[in-house]
Amino acid sequence: MGGSMSLNSSSTDSCEETRGGALFVPDEDGVLVEVLQGDLVRDTGGTSRMVVVRVDSQQCRVVLRGERECSPDGEEQSVVGLMLLREGVTLARHQLRELLAIYFAHCTREECAPHEGLVQGIEHSIRTATAKEVSLDLSGRRLRDAELFMLNAATLHWHATRCSLSSAELTASQSPSAAACCVRVVDVSQNKISCDGATALCTMLARDMPLVLELYLDSNNISDGFQNILSSSSSSSFSSVN
C-alpha cells in the first residue's frame, strides 16, 4: 500500500521501518511514509537532494542518484537519516494519499465500508505516479455513481471543515491538500457510471483538481451527448474528453 503512518518514539532512532514488504522513511512532518521509486529525498544531516532509483525493503536500503543526474544508475545506501521531500512526484503522491484519507474519514462518518475498487485504484495511482505524468487511474474498478457521489461529498466536507476553522487553526493546517492536487489525467473508463456520476466527478475535479487536462469516460453508461457537452463547455478545463 502507498500509505503513511505516524512516526512514534520507537521508530525515531532507526528512522525507518519495514511493513508488509514496504520500506518507510519520515517525511517533512516526521510521518513515516512508504518510499517509492522516483521519490525525492534529502539527507537530514546535509543539503544534497537525491532521487530514489530503486528500493530494497529487505535490506532497508535504496539506490539514489543526484537530483539533476540523468544516469539510470546510482549509489546504494541505508535509508537511515533520509527524509522525503514534498516536491515533484513525491508531493503528488502525498496529495493522492491525502485524498484517500479524506475518503476513508468520510466513510467512517457515514458508517459505510470504503469501496475496494476505488481504494485500490488510488493506491495504484500512488505507486505508478512519475515525474512525467501523474494520473488518477480508476478504470475497470467496478465503480458506480454511488462511489463518485461519496468521493465528491468527502472532499466537499473537507472544504466545509476548513472554512469553519479560525485563522490561527487554518494557518496551522496549511499542509498541501487534495485541493491543490497536481493530477493531470483522470481515467474512470470501463465502469458502471451514468451521467449523474460523471457530473459528480466533474464537480469534484473542477473544485479539487483544477489542473486535470484529460478525462476518460468511455465504456460507461454515459451518453455521447453528455461527453460532447463537456468537451465544448467553456467552463471546462479539459483538453481531451473521451
pLDDT of residue 171: 39
Q: Residue 162: what pLDDT?
A: 62
Distance CA 107, CA 127 (A): 23
pLDDT the model gives residue 177: 42
The pLDDT value recorded for residue 48 is: 84
Spatial strand order of the sheet with 4-5 comes to 4-5, 32-34, 22-26, 17-19
pLDDT at 231: 61
Q: Which residue has the cell 505516524?
A: 6
CB–CB of 171/220 below 8 Å?
no
> What burial letters (b/e) apply to 210-222, b meaning 16+ CB within 10 Å?
eebebbbbeebeb
Give per-residue pLDDT as tens, 214-224. Answer: 999 999 999 87
Cβ atoms within 10 A of the Cβ of 146, count? 15
pTM of the model: 0.80
Q: How far apart are the first and last CA of the chain?
A: 29
pLDDT at 138: 97
Question: How far is the C-alpha of 110 from the C-alpha of 101, rounded, in Å?
Answer: 14
Low-confidence ranges of the chain (pLDDT < 50): 1, 4-15, 164-181, 234
In sign, the C-alpha dihedral spanning 18, 183, 96, 192 is negative
pLDDT at site 18: 67
